[in-house]
Amino acid sequence: MTQNEGKSCNRSQRQLMKLKYSKGPQPVPSGLLIPVFTGAQKVTSSYQRRTQLQYAFLIALAVTGFYKFEDPQIRVAGLSCAFPGAGFLAVGGIWGAFGVIISVALIPLSLFAWFGAGGLAFVLANWIIPGLVATAVTGDGLWEPAAPIVFTFVAGVAAYGIIAGRSRHYKALGMRESRNGLLLDAESKWSARVQSLPDPDEKRELSIEELRMLQHFVEVAHQAPDDWSNFTVIDQFQTSALRYQLYFLQYTLAVVQKYYMPSFQGYIKTGQERLIERSTTKDVMNYWKWESLWGKFTFDWDPVVRDNIMVTGYIVLCLSLYEKLNGDDRYRQPNALNFRITDKANYHHTTESIFDALMKNWESCSYCLFPCEPNWIYSSCNLIGMEGALAYDSYMKTGRAAKLLHNRFQQGLQEDFMNPDGSIVALRSAISVLGDVSGAFDCSPGMPEVGRRLWLLSKESNIQKAKTGKYYLENLDQGPRQIDNKYLVGADKMDVGNYQAGPGFAHCAYSNCATEFGESDIAHDLIAEVDEKLHPLVETSAKSGALTNRGLSLLATTFLFRARIGRRKDWANLLTGPVDEQVRAAPKLDSVPFPEVMVARCHPVRGPEGIRVEFLLRGPKKPKNITIAFTDLQEGVAYHLAALNNNQWEEGVTGIKADGNGRAYMQIVVGDRSEFVLRT
């Protein structure tokens, strides 16, 4: 901690002493400060006690089997209950030693398979099979010291776990007070900073460089269903899975449409449709067959009805954003979505059935939050699922999501999926610094105070301002600075979209979160670090003029692009704000010759003559004639298209009338930067 930070923290702690905390759970929202019930782990503790009793029963079997029976095979079988490979220790000899080594070596691999792909069967197999083999190869004599060694080892591990757990808990409790003191000071500074930063309210427009980045996303979205070039294809179980790339790419197109071209559909709309429908194909969904088999031991592979929020939560957000922005309810029609697990196993759903499954899973789960992988609950997936439910409710008005959020979800999140110091538990028993910053972003729509708390703590821990005035992401390796000593370690220094080492993804995540919370100067500097040093902008392999960041995963570039074009509370407002009825009522630009011509801006504007549509096209440097199309035109109404020339509107095409489908085509001249208005 620096000297200035120490003074700030001490001052904040004096302020904190003036506050009085009520004992026990507080009503939600709990406010900016970390509540006293955070990390209480009421539900977790009950499951831990159950697991401890189950393991105590296994140890009792081990003791009874080894010491109460004379048959060597029964004694070895009993000892095998203690942990994988324990029975081999009693077998003794070279084969016994070999069996112990192999069994113990496979423990981390089986746990990784369980964690990474929901494979509970691997953990059970690594426990049961060595026990059976050890029992089968048992001779007449046993190595008697095996049992005392096994039970001493188990007791030692248990004692260490209890002591270490209590130590972490008390340390986190002390850190809670320090962090609350820090929050008081950080909140006032944040408010002053955000208010002082520029927040222009003019119609937003994408720069030519931003359009070239968007071009890459649109081209990828429109690839053939079996073309996975430009995607990362490694595994379909963890964070590089195709589904996440598809979902986050759709979110990015939705952000662009909402804030830059709400009155344009065309490639921005069809791109979202392609991504949604492609996410239900066998290439993407076949993983659920295997997770259901080795994690849930079932042949019912429906990916929606039970668990699997890593699909339902993410896709309901895609579907809700699409319908909210476009007024298109195609995915609420019967059997609109066909989830293809195998060629024969197909499961049909709609937006409504997915939303209903989400709500039922939350309502029935003791944690409220429910699993992604079988038996693993990820807080991030549940936060994104709640974002999807809130987005759905923002236009369907069921009221179910908000009620659940404030009655159970927020309380459950903070009690069982946060530590006492307020940091996010990314999944049960795993902690990540990036879990806090991603949690901050995902809490912004539904739990803004919790989100701001996580952002301020993340920023204080890992963002520093250099003497040059530039912000940078620090604590990438080591070197204490803050009271909580939160470093970016392990997975924090990896691009989770392609598993490549480096701090690039962390910069993307932090810049995206900084933008959402209004700290555009921080976002600007972190983006510049990526563009200029870590992952420079380059032309894509398509050689179409599109740009991307070299070496960054597609997933990471979606985070970075949203950081580039976003503003404070963009994400929260997109999800929870009302439907824009002015956009719904206005005509829509629906076709331009992409990628030769791209839409940089397209907004409806209400005037005395009604709603007009103002749009800006970026095309070839040498002007040329192109054909564009509008849809949602009113029947029988004559429209006029004017072009801006030397700051003067000049009539271009007059007497435009819709056909029977509400569409009209017209020829216009487009150059490098051409601005138009369609009006009655």
* pLDDT on residue 471: 95
Q: State the Cα–Cα distance between residues 451 and 163, nearest whole angstrom.
A: 32
Q: Is 591 left (phi over 0), alpha (psi -120 to 50) or beta?
A: beta
Q: At what angle do helices 266-278 and 242-260 cross, to 10 degrees?
A: 160
Mean pLDDT of 104-121: 90
pLDDT tens digits, 210-227:
999 999 999 999 999 999
Query: Domains in the chain, please, with CATH?
Result: 42-164 (no CATH), 209-262+442-577 (no CATH), 280-417 (no CATH), 581-679 (2.60.40)
How far the first Cα of the chain sits from its last, in Å, is 63
* pLDDT on residue 375: 83
pLDDT tens digits, 531-562:
999 999 999 998 999 999 999 999 999 999 99
Stated as kind and residue range, the H or E segment containing 63 is helix 42-68
How many of the other CB atoms lie within 10 Å of CB of 677?
A: 17
* pLDDT on residue 201: 64
* pLDDT on residue 486: 55
Mean pLDDT of 361-371: 95
Report whether pLDDT(27) > 70.
no
* pLDDT on residue 37: 92
Contact, 641 vs 669, CB < 8 A?
Answer: no
Contact, 641 vs 666, CB < 8 A?
Answer: yes
* Residue 56 neighbours by CB under 8 Å, 6+ apart: none
Report whether pLDDT(431) > 80.
no
* Residue 339 neighbours by CB under 8 Å, 6+ apart: 280, 285, 302, 303, 304, 346, 347, 348, 349
Instruction: Tell me the HSE value of 199 on the side-chain side, using a 13 A CA sphere.
Output: 14
Q: Is 655 left (phi over 0), alpha (psi -120 to 50) or beta?
A: left
Report whether pLDDT(520) > 50.
yes
The torsion of the CA quartet 268, 273, 278, 280, rounded to 10 degrees, works out to: 140
Give helix then strand counts, H and E, for the chain: 24, 18
Which is more confident, 24 or 124? 124
Q: Is the peptide bond before 623 cis (omega within 30 degrees of 0)?
A: no
Q: State the Cα–Cα distance between residues 101 and 103, nearest whole angstrom.
A: 6
* pLDDT on residue 474: 82
Mean pLDDT of 591-617: 94
- β-pairing, 337-340 with 346-349? antiparallel
The structure tokens 């662009």 sit at 256
Q: State the Cα–Cα distance between residues 176 and 404, nearest whole angstrom.
A: 27
Task: Share the mean pLDDT of the chain.
Answer: 90
Q: State the Cα–Cα distance between residues 260 and 248, nearest whole angstrom.
A: 18
What share of the chain has pLDDT > 90, as a percent? Answer: 79
Q: State the Cα–Cα distance between residues 457 and 476, nearest whole angstrom.
A: 16
Q: Looking at 379-388, 470-479, 628-637, which range is the least confident one? A: 470-479
* pLDDT on residue 580: 95
**Short-list 249, 250, 341, CA closest to 304:** 341
Q: CA angle at residue 636 from 580 to 679, to 5 degrees?
A: 50
What share of the chain has pLDDT > 70, as a percent? Answer: 92
* pLDDT on residue 488: 63
Q: Give the confidence band of 597 by pLDDT, cuts at 50, 70, 90.
A: very high
pLDDT tens digits, 393-410:
999 999 999 999 999 999
Mean pLDDT of 195-202: 72
Q: Looking at 167-171, 186-190, 581-585, which range is the least confident one? A: 186-190
Mean pLDDT of 633-650: 92
Report whether pLDDT(1) > 80.
no
* pLDDT on residue 263: 98
* pLDDT on residue 427: 65
Q: CA angle at residue 516 from 499 to 458, to 5 degrees?
A: 60
Report whether pLDDT(3) > 70.
no
Q: State the Cα–Cα distance between residues 180 and 13, nearest whole angstrom.
A: 8
pLDDT tens digits, 460-508:
989 999 999 999 998 654 443 443 445 566 677 899 999 999 999 999 9
Contact, 110 vs 88, CB < 8 A?
Answer: no
Q: State the Cα–Cα distance between residues 439 and 461, nearest whole angstrom.
A: 15
Mean pLDDT of 141-170: 93
* pLDDT on residue 16: 43
Helices (H), 118-265: 120-136, 146-196, 208-221, 242-260
pLDDT tens digits, 258-281:
999 999 999 999 999 999 999 999
Report whether pLDDT(371) > 80.
yes
**Short-list 415, 425, 422, CA closest to 379:** 425
